[in-house]
Amino acid sequence: MTTHHDVIIVGAGAAGLYAAIFAGRRGRRVLVLDHAEAAGKKILISGGGRCNFTNLHADPKRYLSDNPHFAISALKRHTQHDFIELVDRHGIPWHEKKLGQLFCDRSAKDIVRMLLDEMADSGAALRLACRVDGVERGPDGQGFELKTSHGGFTCDSLVLATGGLSIPKMGATGFALDLARQFGLKIVPTRPGLVPFTFAPDDLERTRDLSGIALDAWVEAGGARFREALLLTHRGLSGPSILQVSSYWAPGEFVTLDLAPDMDLAEHLKAQKRARPNAELKTVLGDLMPRRFAERLCETLLESRPLGRMQDKELAEAAALLQGWRLRPAGTEGYRTAEVMVGGIDTNELSSKTMEARRVPGLYAVGEAVDVTGWLGGYNFQWAWSSGWVAGQAA
């Protein structure tokens, strides 16, 4: 027996649940399907279990896409303030951690519970542990027919909300991309984003024992530049600044580090030479950054001598190296630890006003499956809310 719904949403994550709420509020008969045994699994692990649910500074300029204008409509029509209003209405306490990042005071479970309660109030239904085995157009070229592990379903509108390829251990798959290809939609090549870098063996040999050391730095790659903490790991580099630029980096490219941000290091070293001529370079650098890291720099990149025995030209060269240190990562840790997928369903295939596929009426795509990727810090959740809201108004 086949059951009909006005709207079927595949994916019970942030974008899918949100789309279901607003489609249901319009009186549409909505069903959400997910192969997982629990809804919102990625929400639950986000932000260390506290869910960085949006950012006060969410702005289209802080999103990557082959079409940077695509996200403007959704982000302006349903903003971070709209989502915060919903969170407040449910009495969920939250706080700003830094740089506009908003986190739950208690637990990410509060956000999932809010979404499920809102969805239930809207009349939308949820089926978990339901695998979708196939999707076809209806016999008259209208609507869709789904074969699932729970039987057959038909719908007028189908919303792809299964996310991207990041964190496969949480159940991530390429379902949305595969289905988009099935219906002839173009895909922007995908890659891991917001992901740590890995080092080649020789570079790793020099830094592995420094794992856990963090320092403030400007990091630049692919035309993007971020100032936040950098963290050395037993595989390479991580930390907020590294995760941010990783979304812009392409294999084989250099990453540039400024290890003495917001200062004229050359002038500082010259001043220290006058004030402390007997102090070694590694000692003076150890006042600006973790001592062990400064010592390793002087063992591998620089020669540490008393400043009084170094020419100003040598100090300037050392400063230039440390404030423009270029390194070439061997790669990234991949989708295993990536927080997002960069790329996805080509936005030229979709209407920015409805998220509907231009050439496949009734087919919608939202969230991470679409070629819109936000910065670290709640931006990708806001894209999920905004794109889900837009689809919910139209599907």
Query: Tens of pLDDT along 143-157?
Result: 999 999 999 999 999
Q: Give the contacts of 330 (CB within 8 A, at least 6 positions apart).
A: 197, 198, 199, 200, 203, 236
3-state class (DSSP) for residue 22? helix
Strands lying side by side in the sheet with 52-55:
52-55, 101-104, 94-96
Number of continuous H segments (helices) and E segments (strands) in the chain: 13, 21
pLDDT of residue 170: 80
Angle subtended at Cα 7 by Cα 5 and Cα 9, rounded to the nearest 5 degrees = 115
pLDDT of residue 167: 87
pLDDT of residue 2: 83
Q: Which residues of the chain have pLDDT under 50?
A: none
CA 86 vs CA 21, 81, 378: distances in Å: 12, 9, 16
pLDDT of residue 356: 98
User: What is the reported pTM?
Assistant: 0.95
Distance between start and end Cα atoms, the chain: 24
Contact (Cβ atoms closer than 8 angstroms) between residue 114 and residue 92: yes
3-state class (DSSP) for residue 89? helix
* Domains of the chain with CATH codes: 2-192+340-394 (3.50.50.60), 197-332 (2.40.30.10)
Q: Give the contacts of 233 (CB within 8 A, at least 6 positions apart).
A: 196, 211, 212
Burial of 252 (0-12, 13-18, 19+ CB in 10 A): exposed
User: Distance between CA atoms of 215 and 86, rounded to whole angstroms?
Assistant: 37
pLDDT of residue 141: 86
The structure tokens 């988009």 sit at: 180
